[in-house]
Structure 1
Amino acid sequence: MSIQAYQTNSVETASPGELTLMLYNGCLKFIKLAGKAMEMKNYEQKNIHIQKAQKIIQELMITLDQGASISKEIMPLYEFINRRLLDANLNNDLIILSEAQDLVTELRDTWKEVIRQTRQQQYGEGGNV
């Protein structure tokens, strides 16, 4: 099986929780690539990677369950991250980019823990992510 076929299969068989985790990981990947491009003064690549990270944050915003009480706390955080990515892009600012990365990492790690706990409740011990 090719890597692309494996990745496609992973996405197609993933639970909604796992898909959200994939989005967080993808966002972090693009933020890191943007930081490397910024350090190398490759502003075109920096812009492309930050825009990809922003698209992921926007997708998370669109798919956020507005009926869930936690949404009222998460939506402003997504909006803040999106704004910081824009600021980092406009100002070529690694510190702001790092701030956005830290926030996405915290969300991703929290989400991983939620998935782990949910699996433990569903399947007993051993529900590692």
Structure 2
Amino acid sequence: MNVNPYLKMQVETASPVEHVILLYEKVILLLKEAIEAIEEGDVQAKVDAIVKADRIIRVLNNSLDMEKGGEIAENLRKLYDFILDSLVIANGKNDKRLLNDLIGILTTLKEGWEGIKNRV
């Protein structure tokens, strides 16, 4: 597997906040790929993209520090659980609208983390 050296360096030198932003960007890209696959009738590509997105959301969910994160961590956990449930529905129903709604949610979250990054 060839890895883009620029991307590899970006990941290796990223702060924890930057890692979260990169993960959101990847999930958004995967959901766009799933929408495109639905439009093209490519079931395998859709499933692959949604499964990868699901894995990343689970990583984000499992990385929450519920003790230190307080209400923010609780709200993120609820949101991640909602996203995971929605991915199952979108996959089963080929629901492009739901995937677009999830992209909107994730874009908002990513922008919030970018705001945090710019303040630190």
For normalisation by structure 1, the TM-score amounts to 0.86
Q: CA deviation at 1:95?
A: 1.1
Q: 1:91 and 1:21 mapped to 2: Cα distance?
A: 28
Q: 1:35 and 1:65 mapped to 2: Cα distance?
A: 32
Whose relative contact order is higher, 1 or 2, with alpha carbons under 8 Å and at least 6 apart?
2
Count of residue pairs brought into register by the alignment: 117
Q: Could you tell me which residue of structure 1 aligns to residue 58 of structure 2?
A: 58
What letter corresponds to residue 36 of structure 1 in structure 2? E
Between 76-85 and 61-70, report the one with greater CA deviation: 61-70
Q: How does 1:4-43 map to 2 (within 5 A)?
A: 4-43=4-43
Which one has a larger percent helix, Structure 1 or Structure 2? 2
Q: CA deviation at 1:3?
A: 6.3
Q: 1:102 and 1:83 mapped to 2: Cα distance?
A: 16
Unaligned runs of 5+ in 1: 119-129
Q: Could you tell me which residue of structure 2 aligns to residue 110 of structure 1?
A: 112
Q: 2:109 and 2:6 mapped to 1: Cα distance?
A: 26
Q: How does 1:65-104 map to 2 (within 5 A)?
A: 65-67=65-67, 68-69=69-70, 70-104=72-106
Identity rate, percent:
32
For normalisation by structure 2, the TM-score amounts to 0.92
Q: 1:105 and 1:80 mapped to 2: Cα distance?
A: 15
Unaligned runs of 5+ in 2: none
Which consecutive segments of 4 or more residues in structure 1 shift more than 6 A?
A: none
Q: 1:75 to 1:13 in 2, by over 3 A?
A: same
RMSD: 1.3
